């Protein structure tokens, strides 16, 4: 009840909050897809997740503003009905052309904790590490969709206003995580790790020296080395979908 007026009062918080909610929808949608794969190869359930979160957040706000008005069992039935809707949700990639370059650099980041599961994030495993500002969080889905099977995908969150925005990010993501972990079996947890980089150390290890809310840089990691780097809009998809040339290891 008290959070929304604080968010709406300042543009500094409105845009990051929108991206955080989009990220929550991506996380929930990915988990739903692992429980019930979409009927078509390009199908996704992120729009369904967005609809469910809209219902739940709206019900929460209404329950606070008008005590006794919201009937919880009605909200449950509405969400159950959403599961049967076909929202025509298909995955497509926007025509963005980031800067992509081959690399051969050591990759030995410090240990980090996955904000979604609470487990240690496997940053040194082969896969994609995306450094994303709070205005670009939804781009993490591009890395997940494009990464080859078995590749780890990690989003490293950065911001130009850490004192104000990291607490907001932790709160919003934790709100989803505390529901997702007990409800979904571990096998259905989303294939995406989320790490908060308050010190900037992980961003620097990925070659990002001036991280801000608009940052989108992604690196491809193989055998403990960075073998490819992409920068700019579309970097997540590019780093995940490109096949790096064979190198050391």
User: Which ranges of the chain does DSSP label H, i.e. alpha helix?
Assistant: 3-8, 11-35, 46-65, 72-82, 140-146, 162-183, 201-205, 235-241
For the chain, give the mean pLDDT: 91
Quickly state the pLDDT bin for 248 (edges 50, 70, 90).
Answer: very low
Residue 175 pLDDT > 50? yes
Quickly state the pLDDT bin for 249 (edges 50, 70, 90).
Answer: very low
Instruction: Please check whether residue 154 is in contact with residue 128, taking contact to mean a CB–CB distance below 8 angstroms.
Output: yes
The correct CATH number of 99-241 out of 3.40.30.10, 3.30.565.10, 3.40.50.2300, 3.40.640.10 is 3.40.30.10
The predicted-structure confidence for 106-154, as pLDDT tens digits, reads as follows: 999 988 999 999 999 989 999 999 999 999 999 999 999 999 988 999 9
CATH 3.40.30.10 residue spans of the chain: 99-241
The predicted-structure confidence for 59-115, as pLDDT tens digits, reads as follows: 988 888 898 999 999 999 998 999 888 898 999 887 888 999 999 999 999 889 999
For residue 85, what pLDDT is reported? 87
- 3-state per-residue secondary structure call for 22-42: HHHHHHHHHHHHHHCCCCCCC
């Amino acid at each position: 009840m008290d959070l929304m007026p604080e968010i709406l009062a300042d543009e500094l918080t409105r845009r990051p909050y929108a991206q955080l909610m989009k990220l929550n929808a991506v996380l929930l949608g990915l988990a739903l897809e692992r429980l019930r794969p979409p009927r078509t190869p390009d199908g996704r359930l992120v729009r369904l997740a967005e609809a469910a979160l809209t219902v739940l957040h709206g019900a929460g706000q209404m329950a606070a503003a008008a005590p006794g008005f919201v009937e919880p069992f009605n909200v449950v039935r509405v969400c159950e009905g959403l599961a049967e809707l076909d929202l025509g949700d298909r995955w497509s990639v926007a025509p963005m052309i980031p800067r992509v370059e081959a690399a051969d650099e050591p990759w030995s980041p410090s240990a980090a904790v996955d904000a979604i599961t609470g487990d240690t994030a496997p940053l040194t495993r082969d896969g994609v590490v995306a450094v994303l500002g709070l205005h670009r969080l939804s781009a993490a889905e591009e890395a997940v969709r494009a990464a080859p099977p078995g590749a780890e995908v990690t989003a490293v969150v950065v911001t130009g206003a850490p004192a104000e925005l990291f607490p907001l990010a932790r709160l919003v993501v934790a709100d989803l995580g505390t529901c997702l972990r007990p409800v979904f079996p571990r096998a259905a947890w989303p294939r995406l790790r989320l790490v908060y980089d308050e010190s900037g150390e992980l961003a620097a290890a990925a070659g990002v020296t001036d991280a801000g809310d608009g940052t989108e840089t992604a690196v491809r990691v193989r055998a403990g080395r960075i073998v490819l780097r992409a920068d700019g809009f579309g970097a997540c998809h590019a780093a995940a979908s490109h096949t790096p040339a064979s190198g050391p290891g």
